[in-house]
């Protein structure tokens, strides 16, 4: 059964042929009969046809010429020879050239059947080509952004190298990374994160040209390989353009996001002679700027490479530090300033590195945060600290609180509440003796969500301390808004209280304000008797610092606790 609305292009049909066609084929929707080469070309170019019937006897050109024109058009339309010719050689040569069938004039049944079959075959071929195109596209494009993927990007960039080398030209690799994607994914879901990536991709695409290639590396990280640059100034100009284009607000489902970006730049050929090397060096440069997030760009240097090598060695070692039992906790006493009694301890992690010895957190916590290893480390610290506190409680120091630092990534993760409940249940310590220290800047990243998480922790009776208060926003409005119990004044503020009247006034104001809000104040970094006296005079609640004790191992802490029974720390 022939399809409806058949579009039939006839070549060199006589009136008699046409009459026959119309009498035998009733569903012709579009029909054209053409008699010269020019018309064949324009019909193939301008219209869509289901089948071509070629009258071999009357034709002004031979079949292979017609087939060549068809091939040039790039269209897959079946061509059937319709002829009286009984010359087998002519038929063979036409079929050999690519004609799909040969039908003897007047054989209506054969003609209908051949048209039907060849249209079906053409459809199958077209579907196959389409599927192959799609597979090819998927293999070389990023599904989310439709940008060329890294393979295609590298292939195209590599192809540019020979041209660059011939003309002694330069090119620049830009690695552009936007902050907060993991956070947005965890709070609003990956759907919002994906749309954010798509919006940035569209913005950046405005700069992608044949000589300026763009790809998405992962997450919200994109790479440009720009061969349009000519000197240092134009390399910087392009970075400025990206920053300008990318930093304006993004709106998704009425949510407004302001993102910041870092750009790592390296230049061909001085910083790398192939794509892999340029990408790796741009990546090292970007890692170097990880905490800047200032909408700025950094250029690759040899020093950056050295740091990157060390960093990667450290990362490999840190990955196995927990399994190898290389992490340990030190505990620093927290003192009740009015009674002088030891009210609790803060757990502070250390890494006993096999080569470098005992490392303080500043040497590995930033790396752990960057690599996500902080989640495992944080879980270990919480468990270990609570287990140790449980042992002290059993040893007769049942009111001792244990403070644990929670970094931004830990705070953002959805399993935070369940993993804390789990640790409390396993170690058996009572929630009101667990104090979580969360820095002011972490809480202010997304104040609304922070408030919800803090409320959930409060509902569990866990105590919350805002750590490093005075170093960031110090927003009084949010202090009221958040369910916190303790304000930990950063040691950078307490450091100058005796010598700098401004610092002492600020601390006096913080203590007064905290009292109004019913918060306990813990002053950190107390090293001198003068600082102690000053805080004591202001009736600050608690203090922590080298004056009382440095952080120490659990065993030493037990001795200190025993001493406390006979005296005080202050
Ligand atoms: P932090 O929470 O502000 O911890 C207090 C830091 O101040 C500790 O440094 C402590 O040794 C130091 N400190 C205490 N008293 C004094 C003093 O009187 N003078 C001076 N100059 N310093 C004093 P530490 O152990 O090097 O820890 C540094 C930071 O590393 C901590 O700051 C905390 O933010 C982070 N950290 C430590 N342990 C962990 C952990 O288990 N998890 C996470 N996420 N972060 C941790
Ligand atoms: Mg702390």
CB atoms closer than 10 angstroms to residue 109? 9
Q: Check if the beta carbon of residue 542 is closer than 8 Å to that of residue 521.
A: yes
DSSP string across 152-185: HHHHHHHHHHHHHHHTT--EEEEEEEES-HHHHH
Q: Do residue 113 and residue 76 come from a single domain?
A: yes
Ligand 1 contact, 349 CB (< 6 A): yes
* Pocket perturbation via mutation, ligand 1, pick of 333, 359, 361, 470 by most ligand atoms within 8 A of CB: 361
154 found inside a domain: yes
Q: Do residue 127 and residue 155 come from a single domain?
A: no
569 found inside a domain: no
If one counts the domains in the chain, the total is 3
15 found inside a domain: yes
Ligand 1 contact, 365 CB (< 6 A): yes
The values of phi and psi at residue 167, to 5°, are -100, 10
Q: Do residue 385 and residue 418 come from a single domain?
A: yes
Say how many Å lie between the CA of residue 348 and the centre of ligand 1. Answer: 6
Q: Do residue 472 and residue 497 come from a single domain?
A: yes
Q: Do residue 197 and residue 62 come from a single domain?
A: no
Ligand 1 contact, 379 CB (< 6 A): no
What's residue 134's pLDDT?
87
Biggest CA–CA distance in the chain, Å, is 123
Ligand 1 atom 34: the closest Cα is on which residue?
A: 405
Ligand 1 contact, 405 CB (< 6 A): yes
What's residue 500's pLDDT?
83
214 found inside a domain: yes
The values of phi and psi at residue 91, to 5°, are -65, -45
309 found inside a domain: no
314 found inside a domain: no
Say how many Å lie between the CA of residue 405 and the centre of ligand 2. Answer: 5
Q: Do residue 415 and residue 543 come from a single domain?
A: yes
Q: Do residue 506 and residue 371 come from a single domain?
A: yes
Find the ligand nearest to 348 CA.
1
Ligand 1 atom 37: the closest Cα is on which residue?
A: 348
Q: Do residue 230 and residue 292 come from a single domain?
A: yes
Q: 3-state DSSP: the chain helix, strand, coil percent, rounded to 5?
A: 50, 20, 30
Q: Are strands 327-336 and 542-544 parallel, antiparallel or unpaired?
A: antiparallel
Ligand 1 contact, 360 CB (< 6 A): yes
Ligand 1 atom 17: the closest Cα is on which residue?
A: 525
Q: Do residue 237 and residue 327 come from a single domain?
A: no
> Which CATH number belongs to the domain containing residue 228 in this structure?
3.30.70.270
Q: Do residue 160 and residue 115 come from a single domain?
A: no
Say how many Å lie between the CA of residue 88 and the centre of ligand 2. Answer: 95
Q: Do residue 407 and residue 547 come from a single domain?
A: yes
Ligand 1 contact, 527 CB (< 6 A): yes
Alpha-carbon dihedral 517, 410, 389, 456, rounded to 10 degrees? 50
Ligand 1 contact, 551 CB (< 6 A): yes
What's residue 567's pLDDT?
47
> Which CATH number belongs to the domain containing residue 441 in this structure?
3.20.20.450
> Which CATH number belongs to the domain containing residue 85 in this structure?
3.40.50.2300
How many CA within 13 A on the CB side of residue 472?
Answer: 18
Say how many Å lie between the CA of residue 189 and the centre of ligand 2. Answer: 30
65 found inside a domain: yes
345: helix, strand or coil: strand
pLDDT in tens, the chain (570 residues): 566 789 999 999 999 999 998 888 888 889 999 988 899 999 999 999 999 999 877 667 778 888 999 999 999 999 999 888 766 777 788 888 899 999 988 888 899 999 999 999 999 999 999 999 888 888 899 999 999 999 999 999 999 988 898 888 999 999 999 888 877 887 788 899 999 999 999 999 999 999 999 999 999 999 999 999 999 999 999 999 999 988 788 899 888 888 889 999 999 999 999 999 999 999 999 988 776 677 889 999 989 888 888 888 889 999 999 889 999 999 999 999 989 999 999 999 999 999 989 999 999 998 898 888 999 999 999 999 999 999 999 999 999 999 999 998 888 777 889 999 999 999 999 999 999 999 988 888 778 888 999 999 999 999 999 999 887 666 666 788 889 999 999 998 898 888 888 888 889 999 999 999 999 999 999 999 999 999 999 999 999 999 999 999 999 999 999 887 644 555
Q: Check if the beta carbon of residue 357 is closer than 8 Å to that of residue 350.
A: no
Q: Could you tell me the residue range of the domain that residue 11 belongs to?
A: 6-139
Find the ligand nearest to 471 CA.
1
CB atoms closer than 10 angstroms to residue 113? 14
What's residue 86's pLDDT?
64
Find the ligand nearest to 381 CA.
1
Among 300, 329, 355, the domain boundary falls at 300
Stated pTM of the model = 0.64
Going by C-alpha positions, the residue among 520, 567, 518 that lies closest to residue 539 is: 520
Going by C-alpha positions, the residue among 326, 345, 334 that lies closest to residue 386 is: 345
DSSP 8-class letter at 566: T
Ligand 1 contact, 437 CB (< 6 A): yes
What's residue 291's pLDDT?
65
In ligand 1, the atom with minimum distance to the C-alpha of 368 is 44
CB atoms closer than 10 angstroms to residue 107? 13
Q: Check if the beta carbon of residue 381 is closer than 8 Å to that of residue 329.
A: yes
Q: Do residue 46 and residue 156 come from a single domain?
A: no
Say how many Å lie between the CA of residue 113 and the centre of ligand 2. Answer: 84
Q: Check if the beta carbon of residue 10 is closer than 8 Å to that of residue 77.
A: no
284 found inside a domain: yes
How many CA within 13 A on the CB side of residue 570?
Answer: 21
Ligand 1 atom 42: the closest Cα is on which residue?
A: 405
H-helix segments, 141-292: 150-166, 181-188, 190-205, 232-246, 275-288
CA 548 remoteness from chain centre: 45
- In this structure, what token pair is assigned to residue 310? 């060390």
Ligand 1 contact, 545 CB (< 6 A): yes
């Amino acid at each position: 059964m022939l399809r409806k609305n058949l579009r039939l292009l006839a070549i060199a049909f006589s009136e008699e042929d046409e009459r026959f066609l119309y009498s035998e084929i009733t569903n012709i929707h579009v029909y054209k009969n053409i008699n010269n080469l020019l018309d064949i070309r324009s019909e193939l170019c301008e219209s869509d046809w289901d089948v071509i019937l070629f009258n071999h006897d009357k034709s002004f050109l031979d079949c292979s010429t017609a087939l060549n024109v068809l091939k040039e058009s790039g269209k897959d339309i079946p061509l059937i020879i319709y002829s009286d010719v009984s010359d087998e050689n002519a038929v063979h040569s036409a079929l050999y050239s690519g004609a799909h069938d040969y039908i003897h004039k007047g054989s209506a049944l054969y003609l209908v059947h051949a048209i039907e079959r060849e249209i079906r075959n053409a459809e199958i071929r077209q579907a196959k080509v389409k599927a192959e195109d799609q597979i090819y596209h998927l293999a070389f494009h990023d599904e989310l952004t439709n940008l060329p993927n890294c393979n295609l990007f590298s292939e195209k960039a590599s192809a540019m190298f020979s041209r660059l080398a011939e003309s002694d030209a330069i090119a620049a690799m830009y690695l552009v990374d936007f902050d907060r994607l993991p956070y947005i994914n965890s709070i609003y879901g990956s759907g919002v994160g994906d749309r954010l990536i798509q919006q940035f991709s569209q913005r950046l695409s405005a700069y992608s040209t044949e000589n300026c290639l763009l790809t998405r590396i992962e997450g919200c990280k994109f790479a440009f390989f720009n061969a349009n640059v000519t000197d240092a100034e134009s390399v910087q100009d392009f970075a400025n353009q990206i920053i300008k284009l990318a930093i304006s607000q993004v709106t998704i489902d009425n949510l407004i996001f302001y993102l910041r970006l870092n750009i790592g730049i390296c230049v061909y050929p001085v910083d790398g002679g192939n794509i892999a090397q340029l990408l790796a060096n741009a990546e090292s440069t970007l890692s170097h700027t990880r905490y800047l997030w200032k909408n700025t760009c950094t250029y690759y240097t040899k020093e950056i490479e050295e740091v990157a090598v060390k960093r990667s060695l450290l990362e490999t070692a840190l990955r196995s530090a927990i399994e190898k039992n290389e992490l340990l906790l030190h505990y620093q006493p927290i003192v009740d300033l009015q009674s002088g009694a030891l009210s609790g301890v803060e757990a502070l992690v250390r890494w006993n590195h096999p080569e470098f010895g005992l490392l303080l957190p500043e040497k590995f916590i930033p790396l752990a945060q960057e690599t996500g290893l902080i989640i495992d480390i944080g879980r270990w610290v919480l468990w270990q600290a609570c287990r140790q506190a449980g042992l002290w409680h059993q040893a007769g120091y049942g009111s001792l609180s244990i403070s644990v630092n929670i970094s931004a990534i830990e705070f953002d993760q959805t399993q935070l509440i369940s993993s804390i409940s789990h640790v409390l249940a396993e170690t058996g310590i009572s929630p009101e003796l667990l104090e979580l220290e969360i820095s002011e800047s972490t809480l202010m990243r997304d104040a609304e969500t922070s408030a919800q998480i803090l409320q959930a922790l409060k509902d569990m009776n866990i105590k919350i301390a805002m750590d490093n208060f005075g170093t960031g926003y110090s927003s009084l409005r949010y202090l009221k808004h958040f369910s916190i119990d303790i304000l930990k004044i950063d040691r950078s503020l307490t450091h100058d209280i005796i010598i700098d009247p401004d610092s002492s006034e600020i601390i006096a104001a913080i203590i007064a304000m905290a009292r109004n809000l019913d918060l306990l104040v813990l002053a950190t970094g107390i090293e001198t008797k003068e600082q102690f006296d000053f805080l004591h005079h202001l009736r600050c609640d608690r203090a922590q610092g080298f004056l009382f004790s440095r952080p120490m191992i659990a065993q030493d802490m037990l001795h200190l606790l025993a001493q406390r029974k006979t005296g005080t720390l202050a």
